[in-house]
Amino acid sequence: MKAWLECMIRADRPATASPACTYRPVTAPPSPADAHRLMPADRALALLNAAAALERVAPQLDWPGEASPAARLLSAERDPGLRLVAALARAAIEFLAGPERERLRACAAPRRVRYFLKDHGLQEWCKPSCGNRARAARHYRRQRAADAG
């Protein structure tokens, strides 16, 4: 399946800014409200990978007594900003490499720049008020067209 990567990292922001990239099937385009601001996929991937590499981490296994084992990442990085950016980048990479990415959609409401995970087959908006906004805009367009014609 043909696909692309769209990123909310803007060209005017530093590489250390928190990335929010999404893998999108061709049938689900980016939000029209922000599509013109998205950077090329190869640059977005490079920035995402660079942000994830800002912090060296080592996996640690915790297994307290009778409880279930848990994995965590141990870091020697002292700068909390770098730790946050790297953690967000790693989370984005995990999300993009996982099955949940297929549910990611751009909200179809007018002038809306929000993305959401689709819960059911007919869902087009991130929340009900966006659906109301879209229906009101459609009604307004029809009224203007009827008044003009």
Q: DSSP letter string over 45-90? A: HHHHHHHHTTS-EEEEEE--TTSPPEEEEEE----HHHHHHHHHHH
d(CA 45, CA 3): 14
Beta-carbon count within 10 A of 130 CB: 18
Is 50 exceeded by the pLDDT of residue 76?
yes
Is 90 exceeded by the pLDDT of residue 111?
no
% of the chain at pLDDT higher than 70: 81
The answer to pTM > 0.75 is no
The whole-number pLDDT of residue 5 equals: 42
The whole-number pLDDT of residue 19 equals: 45
The whole-number pLDDT of residue 28 equals: 60
Mean per-residue pLDDT, 71-83: 92
The whole-number pLDDT of residue 12 equals: 46
Is 60 exceeded by the pLDDT of residue 140?
yes
SS3 126: coil
Task: Of 102, 51, 53, 94, give the one whose Cα is nearest residue 71.
Answer: 94
Mean per-residue pLDDT, 21-44: 69
Is 50 exceeded by the pLDDT of residue 6?
no
